[in-house]
């Protein structure tokens, strides 16, 4: 339980509006959302994961053109890589999958390039997330997905050919594992594609069959003691699992698995409303992430507990700096403070602002009715 008095809805709305304005002002002319305009390791790149959730938040807040511009950018970026995607899909279908280093990247420069810096690049979740976010946006605002159809088809083929490969997780770690949040992100995207009348019957069936296989894998190997786990065979949890409940909706908030997962996340990872990524996190000492408290809040809304969601939104509100920016993480409760210095030496202070943080605040604000669309 939070010991702080509740914040005023008007103050929460103001924070969300600052977030909306910052995201609009930093969106690249070509549609890409930068992860962070200032942080040394992220500057100049747009992630499919961050960007898809930012676009979903903007879409839910009524920023139709901004979200569409991001999906236009995704579509252009992916169609430009069609030959690469055909090669990856053909190799997988022939039983000789390409090595991890030849799979599609996790983040792109604003012109759709791969950039020069080495990164933990092979991650599948963002490909499912852009499908989910784009198709949800189109549904929400009755838009024609024609301009994105080719990119959606390429993405369905890519995911269907490779969805169960081990790859880096949301936090760009553990390439040797199959991560439940990644599989759930892919399932969400493929489910959305399976329901889209813009695709032909064969591709819809491919998307539906692959989504069903992903759901089966999570059901059979992705739980322990009734709750979702960090990766297949693990017993630990990870805060990214909250997203599978909401906004992705692949696990119902009021199902036994949904409830058990939320209870375990609260028990292991949420301290005074602030949410850690996972119990052994040491990145910048392993602080608390406002965007994750908002994901846990969205999951609570889906389970019917809006009071708890509001407490989590209030906690996230308290992470905004006086300068008007919301960081990636705050250091009030660190898992292991001895790791802070080495990260600061490597990359400087942790990311601030992080657009994804403000976006999740906005998304939960909309869900709780403190932000008008």
Chain residues that interact with ligand BGC, rule: CB under 6 A = 35, 42, 47, 49-50, 170-172, 354, 356
- Minimum CB separation of residue 11 from ligand BGC in Å reads 26
SS3 of the chain: helix, strand, coil, percent, to 5:
55, 5, 40
Complex with ligand BGC: residue 176 or 202, whichever CB lies closer: 176
What distance in Å separates the CA atoms of residue 292 and residue 261, rounded to the nearest whole number?
Answer: 14
- Minimum CB separation of residue 42 from ligand BGC in Å reads 5
**In terms of C-beta density within 10 A (0-12 exposed, 13-18 middle, 19 or more buried), how is residue 372 classed?**
exposed
- Minimum CB separation of residue 49 from ligand BGC in Å reads 5
Reply yes or no on whether 139 is catalytic: no
User: For residue 279, what are the CA distances in angstroms to 272, 293, 336, 344?
Assistant: 15, 15, 10, 21
Complex with ligand BGC: residue 129 or 312, whichever CB lies closer: 129
Which one of the listed residues 311, 328, 352, 367 is annotated catalytic? 328
- Minimum CB separation of residue 151 from ligand BGC in Å reads 20
What distance in Å separates the CA atoms of residue 86 and residue 99, rounded to the nearest whole number?
Answer: 15
User: For residue 114, what are the CA distances in angstroms to 83, 234, 277, 368?
Assistant: 15, 32, 27, 38
What distance in Å separates the CA atoms of residue 180 and residue 222, rounded to the nearest whole number?
Answer: 6
Question: What is the secondary structure of 317-354 as a DSSP string?
Answer: HTTSBTTTB--S-B-SS-S-GGGHHHHHHHHSSPPSS-
Which one of the listed residues 157, 169, 238, 264 is annotated catalytic? 169
- Minimum CB separation of residue 171 from ligand BGC in Å reads 4
Note the Cα 124 to chain centre separation in Å.
Answer: 11
Scan for tokens 């784009």, then name that residue.
Answer: 134
Complex with ligand BGC: residue 50 or 367, whichever CB lies closer: 50
What distance in Å separates the CA atoms of residue 342 and residue 283, rounded to the nearest whole number?
Answer: 9
Complex with ligand BGC: residue 179 or 204, whichever CB lies closer: 179
Cβ proximity of 276 and 330 under 8 Å: no
- Minimum CB separation of residue 150 from ligand BGC in Å reads 26
| Residue, CB closest to ligand BGC | 35
Complex with ligand BGC: residue 2 or 109, whichever CB lies closer: 109
Reply yes or no on whether 169 is catalytic: yes
Complex with ligand BGC: residue 23 or 354, whichever CB lies closer: 354
Reply yes or no on whether 102 is catalytic: no
Complex with ligand BGC: residue 240 or 302, whichever CB lies closer: 240
Q: Is the peptide bond before 247 cis (omega within 30 degrees of 0)?
A: yes
Which one of the listed residues 50, 63, 121, 172 is annotated catalytic? 172
- Minimum CB separation of residue 47 from ligand BGC in Å reads 4
Three-state SS at 227: strand
What distance in Å separates the CA atoms of residue 73 and residue 317, rounded to the nearest whole number?
Answer: 30
Tokens read off for 8: 């005023």
Active site residues: 169, 172, 328
């Amino acid at each position: 339980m939070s010991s702080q008095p509740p914040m005023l809805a008007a103050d929460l709305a103001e924070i969300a509006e600052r977030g909306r304005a910052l995201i609009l002002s930093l969106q690249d002319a070509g549609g890409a959302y930068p992860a962070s305009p200032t942080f040394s390791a992220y500057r100049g790149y747009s992630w499919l994961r961050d960007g898809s959730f930012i676009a979903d938040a903007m879409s839910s807040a009524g920023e139709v053109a901004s979200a569409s511009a991001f999906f236009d950018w995704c579509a252009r970026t992916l169609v430009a890589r069609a030959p690469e995607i055909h090669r990856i899909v053909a190799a997988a279908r022939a039983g000789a999958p390409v090595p991890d280093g030849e799979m599609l990247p996790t983040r792109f420069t604003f012109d759709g390039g791969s950039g020069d810096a080495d990164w933990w690049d092979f991650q599948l979740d963002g490909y499912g997330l852009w499908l989910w976010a784009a198709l949800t946006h189109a549904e929400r605002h009755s838009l024609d997905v024609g301009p994105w159809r080719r990119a959606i088809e390429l993405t369905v083929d890519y995911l269907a050919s490779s969805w169960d490969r081990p790859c880096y997780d949301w936090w760009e770690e553990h390439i040797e594992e199959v991560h439940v949040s990644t599989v759930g992100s892919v399932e969400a995207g493929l489910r959305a594609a399976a329901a889209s009348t813009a695709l032909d019957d064969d591709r819809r069936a491919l998307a539906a069959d692959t989504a069903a296989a992903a759901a089966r894998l999570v059901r059979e190997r992705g739980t322990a003691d009734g709750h979702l786990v960090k990766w297949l065979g693990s017993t630990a949890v990870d805060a990214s699992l909250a997203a599978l409940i909401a906004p992705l909706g692949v696990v119902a908030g009021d199902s036994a698995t949904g409830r058990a997962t939320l209870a375990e996340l609260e028990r292991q990872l949420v301290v005074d409303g602030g949410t850690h990524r996972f119990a052994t996190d040491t990145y910048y000492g392993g602080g608390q992430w406002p965007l994750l408290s908002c994901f846990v809040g969205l999951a609570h809304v889906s389970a019917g507990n809006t009071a708890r969601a509001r407490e989590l939104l209030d906690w996230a509100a308290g992470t905004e700096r006086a300068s008007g920016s919301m960081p990636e993480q705050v250091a009030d409760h660190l898992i292991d403070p001895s790791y802070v210095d080495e990260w600061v030496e490597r990359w400087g202070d942790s990311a601030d602002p992080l657009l994804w943080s403000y976006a999740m605040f906005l998304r939960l604000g909309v869900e709780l009715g403190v932000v008008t669309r």
